[in-house]
Chains A and B, each alone.
Chain A
Amino acid sequence: MNNITRKCREINEDLLSIMTKTGPGYYVLVAVCGILAITLFWLPWAYQIYYGQGVTGLNMPVPWGAYLVNFVFWVGIAHAGTLISAMLYITHTPWRRAIARGAETMTLFALILVTLSVFVHMGRPWNFYWNFPYPNTRQLWPSFQSPLMFDVFAIGTYFTSSVVFLYFGMIPDFASLKHSSTGWRKDLYTALSLGWTGTDREWHVQGRATMFFSSFIMPLVVSVHSIVSWDFALSIVPGYNKTVFAPYFVTGALLSGFAGVIVMLTVMRRAYPVLKKYVTEYHYDRIGQMVLALSLVWSYCTLMEVLTGIYADTSLEKEHLIYKILTSPSMELFALMIFCNTFIPLVLIWRRVRKSAALMFLVSLFVLLGMWLERFLIIPNSLSRKFLPYFWHDYHMSWVEVSITFGAILGFITLFMISIKIFPILSAFEVKEDVGLPVSKEDDHG
């Protein structure tokens, strides 16, 4: 048994230990997060469904508020997963292997939150299925020219593709884990592995399929967030109607997505020190470079968004910019956003910062806050200053919206925590590939 063989065995054991070795702290945390998520998310939502959207802070010039901000925010979080697994696969970037699975899992749960945010936002959420295109008794198909219908298709495709891609990637791991696990796990993994044994034919098809999935998902990632941006850019509202929105939103989504991945990895590494073997400083360094680059692109887009407004020099754009940049409280929020998204990530220029998990974690939290603020400054803020000055009105979040926003975050954490006990958080076979093949010639120095 050589070194590599031993390492392969170790990977399996580590992976299983993450899933099976559960301390009391885990249960306490899941229970607390779960209960808080229910009280903060579902109860206020039930209250809102019972009484109506009036319990929010929305009003008539500003009918798109915090829920839509959450929607865009979660779509953004979802983006890193597929980017890491698809784009970096196509470009043969080796450091994706250890972090891809965790990021993909994040994508899935973020997309669940996306869907929930939309339903929470709707005035009559019990009729949500009216948005879906299927032959129905109402004798009415949805309007395929509506930007929201693009959303339904984009998010629906994204959700389906990421579920398929995530499950597809897990099949060899399930097959590998079912031998070492016992009890319900064994039954579950046996069923989920579909009888995968790892023959050369299976691996061949698997490799090709990964390539095809990646080639499909890479343009999908770009299209999903551009389509989300068109919800806004296809309207004629000043502050929404901007051509820069598609690249701006995609960059922002990737920025917040990578920040989310760093937060997730850091927490996971702290909870399961065994992961430190696989997710190393090197990974932090690479993601840090990514965040830095995306932050700079994002800053450029923000600058251009403001600049084009100033250059247009119409009364509408001026009022919009004055409200956004020069009027309190948007002014402070704008400054905070620039601070979080442009200045804080600049510390990533230093390699020492990029290699420190704690500092990266802090930077990521700032970036996440900044990205939430960015959407907040775009969505409700632009609507506060629409065309007719008589109907200008500010928007303030009500306790329901604040509570649902935090509840959604806690719900995300709960779902993720439950999932790490059921589904392998590391892509075992890819990490094994990273370790290298057990080859006889290398036995001596292996």
Chain B
Amino acid sequence: MAGIFDRIIGKLKDYRHPGYFRKPDHKWTMVVDLDMCNGCEACVVACYAENNLPTVGKVDCSKSRAFSWLRIERYVEGEYPNVKVKFIPIMCQHCSKAPCEIGCPVYATYHNQDGLNVQVYNRCVGTFTCATYCPYDVRRFNWFTYKRDKPLDEQLNPDVTVREMGVMEKCSFCIQRIRYAKDRAKDEGRPVKDGEVKPACVQSCPTGALTFGDLLDPDSRVSKMVNDPRGYKLLSELNTDPSVVYLRRVVEGSSGGHGHE
């Protein structure tokens, strides 16, 4: 009797751990080396193609309804002749303490065992709470059911759903590719190798500014890169603990004391 009681108490104590999983399978992490990023937006295009993102047209774009899960933010410093343009790619940061997740009343967004902040389209009722709470503004909403003109409808990715209107969505770290890699590794009876999973943006980056990997694997490339002295996390003062690590750009004349943003 006492044994059962202890077990229940022990279990409840476990649940007190934030993000209860004794041992997550993975902790997928992306490292963005801003020093190598040239702002070509190939990642953005790749993301559109991979994840069946609709193009919304001029009018909706001007209303800030563009669908880019991944965007390159540009900041212009200075007056016209002496301008400095800074840019930074921003996608869902897959925060470990995600503000969006507590907002959702129907568990449409929660943290899965891979350390991903996932969005379950079928559960979403469209309360917009996640988008409101998100400090990075990376969530996108299906304002309409977007139609693709012929023959563009034939280039849809069969691994990814086409979302209907009224559903929130965001960068998934190309979860379909993670799923595929995990399945193959399982079939072959081995752990997922470092570099086996490549989200579309990582794959398409011509300069190799984006690196993707598992932080739980001590030998992975990202595990080594996150300790880079240039590393920082976006809006870290909010204590959201993002899974995306930016490596500061080294600019001539700058002391390196201040990052982007």
Contact = CB atoms under 8 A, between A and B. Distances in A.
B63 A59 contact: yes
A237 B136 CA distance: 10
Contact of B105 (A152, A234, A386, A389): A152
Prevailing SS type, chain B contact patch: loop
Interface string A318-336: 0000000000000000000
Contacts of A386: 135, 137
A446 B110 CA distance: 71
Contact of B125 (A58, A61, A128, A147): A128
Contacts of B64: 59-61, 391, 393
Interface string B70-82: 0101110000000
Contacts of A236: 99, 133, 135, 238, 240
A134 B85 CA distance: 53
B75 A389 contact: yes
Contacts of A51: 144, 165
Given A59-B65, A140-B123, A390-B73, A145 B166 contact: no
A131 interface: yes
Contacts of B105: 131, 142-143, 146, 148-149, 152
A128 B135 CA distance: 26
A105 interface: no
Nearest to B107: A143
Contacts of A128: 125
Contacts of B137: 60-61, 386-388, 391
B141 A60 contact: yes
B99 A235 contact: yes
Interface string B54-70: 00000010011100000
A156 B79 CA distance: 55
Contacts of A148: 103-105, 127, 129
Interface residues of A, number: 44
Nearest to A143: B107
B127 A123 contact: yes
Given A54-B143, A143-B106, A123 B128 contact: yes
A54 B127 contact: no
B132 interface: yes
Interface of A: 51-54, 57-61, 63-64, 121-125, 127-128, 130-131, 138, 140, 142-143, 145-149, 152, 231, 234-237, 240, 383, 386-391, 393
10 contacts: A52-B144, A58-B141, A122-B126, A123-B125, A128-B125, A130-B106, A146-B129, A148-B129, A234-B102, A235-B132
